[in-house]
Amino acid sequence: MSKKLRDSWGSRLGIIMAVAGSAVGLGNFLRFPVQAANNGGGAFMIPYFIALLLVGIPLMWVEWSIGRYGGGFGHSSAPGVFNSLWKKNRFIKYFGVIGIFGPLVIMIYYTYIESWTLAYSFFSLSQKYSGILDQASMQSFLRGFQGLEKNQYFTSIAPAYTFFLITFIINIVVLNYGIRGGIERFCRIAVPTLFIFGIILLIRVFTFGVLDPSKMDWNVFNGLGYLWNPDFSQLLNAKVWLAATGQIFFTLSVGIGVILTYASYLKKGDDVALSGLTAVSMNEIAEVVLGASIIIPAAFIFFGPVAIGDVAASGAFNLGFVTMPLIIGQMPLPEVFGFLWFGLLFLAGVTSSVSLAQPAIAFLEDEFNISRKKSVAMFGAVTFLLCNAAIFFLGKGVVDELDFWGGTFCLVLFATIEVILFGWIFGINKAWEEVHHGADMRIPGIYKYIIKYVTPIFLLVVLGAWFFQEWLPIIRMDNVSLANRPYVMATRAGLCLIFLLLAIMVKIAWGKRKKGKKTL
């Protein structure tokens, strides 16, 4: 087969912005503050930063390095990259299927949630929810929009579906223009813009003052204290450590195959050490500085020290789509600040969702020699059909099931495989040399041992604990209602079918490669 010219990044800034955009998503601004508030406040940050240093950063260097290495052999997705690292093993490419399967599964539901932020940006400007003043009514507004109930605000799911179509088309258009002309160009505009929006909101929250003179303790500094004052007793709780580790995976987009794919478009001499660390730093600023300083402190000012516990415990969606609209509605210029908040979330969502799509598209381009436009069209047609399951069965446990297998289990499993493959099969000495090839910084030597020993042991312990504690209850669907079990079973059957089809495609692709070699 004749090979077409591979796409590439236009600049170092472009790849950093794209990887940072992949990492900076809805989880930075919605999931992180909830996780921190519900898991010991400031004490949560101790296991969080330990997980960042021992798992997040090492995995980031691993993925950047193996992605660039596999790209040198013409591979931009995990099956090909894994095969490049361990050529003698004919089965390792099938483990790489997880690196296509996981992002695809997340994409199925993430794009729909992302579309809510676009809708609420429009609702803010049009003041559609401006007259709603209490949590119950705002919750009803959200449920009506999602199609979970018919009420005075919405009588059908048509508005939600319309915004989903717009969001989906935006993603496809960006992807259609390729790495340099689409993803890089979009991220170079979107990432700085969402940071600007975040800073404006941060300044607004910090200049609130006290709303009620009789409640002087309802201020931004006590709001920060609620989030950051440590409850050190929580450090003895294994759940807190697992939550912190899960947040690191979620926020850095490691263990999913996305960074691996992005890095495959680097040139052999391009730096991965400093560039990767820069992208991580941008994500941490977005999460720890902006994400932790906007939504919880703002909620504390408006709801006080007693109600804030219930607000934080209500979950990320309620916090973002119920609590924040109520808070913004009491500000001057609510339509402007509402647009900034949901616009920030939308830009963060799109930069993440296009990265989730790229591994599957790259697989079609590289292994089947299909053009970019045809690959995007094929991907778009398949994912559009799959997204409808998340849209129309939102209240049936389908999204939770997709999130667990695609956004939790696959992340840890894939990360464990790739770090063992890189540090042990490829070889830590060769791996260390690969990380530093063209590097603009020298990574501390301790990380050579962390990558080989600490990170894989950490991940194996997490996987082992999960199997020991959670495997049977999940398989038995103990926490799934009887009414939802048929939908969950159907979702699991569908996921198994998707994985099987991807594995068959890998087999076909490598079969064609062998035939191509024989004819040469």
DSSP string, 317-359: HHIIIIIHHHHHHTSSSHHHHHHHHHHHHHHHHHHHHHHHHHH
Going by C-alpha positions, the residue among 309, 353, 359, 395 that lies closest to residue 505 is 359
Distance CA 84, CA 89 (A): 10
For the chain, the 3-state helix, strand and coil shares in percent, each to the nearest 5, are 80, 0, 20
Is 142 a member of any domain?
A: yes
Compute CA distances 275 → 20, 34, 108, whole Å.
Answer: 10, 29, 30
Is 137 a member of any domain?
A: yes
| Contact assessment for residue 205 and residue 199, using Cβ atoms and an 8 Å cutoff | no
Is 6 a member of any domain?
A: no
| Contact assessment for residue 357 and residue 210, using Cβ atoms and an 8 Å cutoff | no
Is 283 a member of any domain?
A: no
pLDDT of residue 518: 61
pLDDT of residue 519: 60
The alpha-helical segments, DSSP class H, found in 323-453 are 324-329, 334-368, 372-392, 398-404, 410-420, 428-436, 446-449
Q: pLDDT tens per residue, the chain (520 residues)?
A: 445 578 899 999 999 999 999 999 888 888 888 888 888 778 888 999 999 999 999 999 999 999 999 999 999 999 999 999 999 999 999 999 999 999 999 999 999 999 999 999 999 999 999 889 888 999 999 999 999 999 999 999 999 999 999 999 999 999 999 999 999 999 999 999 999 999 999 999 888 877 667 777 888 888 888 888 888 888 888 778 878 888 898 889 888 899 999 999 999 999 999 999 999 999 999 998 898 888 888 888 888 887 777 777 777 788 889 989 998 888 889 999 999 999 999 999 999 999 999 999 999 999 999 999 999 999 999 999 999 999 999 999 999 999 889 988 898 899 999 999 999 999 999 999 999 999 999 999 999 999 999 999 999 988 887 788 778 888 889 889 999 999 999 999 999 999 999 999 999 999 987 776 666 5
Query: Does the CA dihedral 107-110-112-117 come out positive or negative?
Result: negative
Distance CA 439, CA 455 (A): 22
Contacts of 138 (CB under 8 A, 6+ apart): 129, 132, 321, 322, 323, 325, 326
Q: What are phi and psi of 41, to 5 degrees?
A: 60, -125
Distance CA 114, CA 185 (A): 20
Domain of 507 in residue numbering reads as: 12-278+290-519
- Residue 464 tokens read as 């082992």
CATH number at residue 223: 1.10.4160
Is 222 a member of any domain?
A: yes
Is 93 a member of any domain?
A: yes
pLDDT of residue 237: 80
Contacts of 172 (CB under 8 A, 6+ apart): 376, 380
- Burial label, 417 (beta-carbon count in 10 A; 0-12, 13-18, 19+): buried
Is 285 a member of any domain?
A: no
Is 181 a member of any domain?
A: yes
Stretch (H or E) spanning 269: none
- Residue 47 tokens read as 């296991």
Going by C-alpha positions, the residue among 106, 418, 51 that lies closest to residue 242 is 51
Distance CA 79, CA 92 (A): 7
| Contact assessment for residue 328 and residue 337, using Cβ atoms and an 8 Å cutoff | yes
Biggest CA–CA distance in the chain, Å, is: 84
The residue type of 331 is: M
| Contact assessment for residue 260 and residue 63, using Cβ atoms and an 8 Å cutoff | yes
Question: Is-above-0.85 flag for pTM?
Answer: yes
Going by C-alpha positions, the residue among 117, 95, 25 that lies closest to residue 346 is 117
| Contact assessment for residue 128 and residue 342, using Cβ atoms and an 8 Å cutoff | no
Query: Does the CA dihedral 214-220-222-223 come out positive or negative?
Result: positive
DSSP 17: H
Contacts of 392 (CB under 8 A, 6+ apart): 147, 157
Q: Report the number of distinct structural domains present in the chain.
A: 1
CA dihedral 428, 434, 435, 441 (to 10 degrees): 120
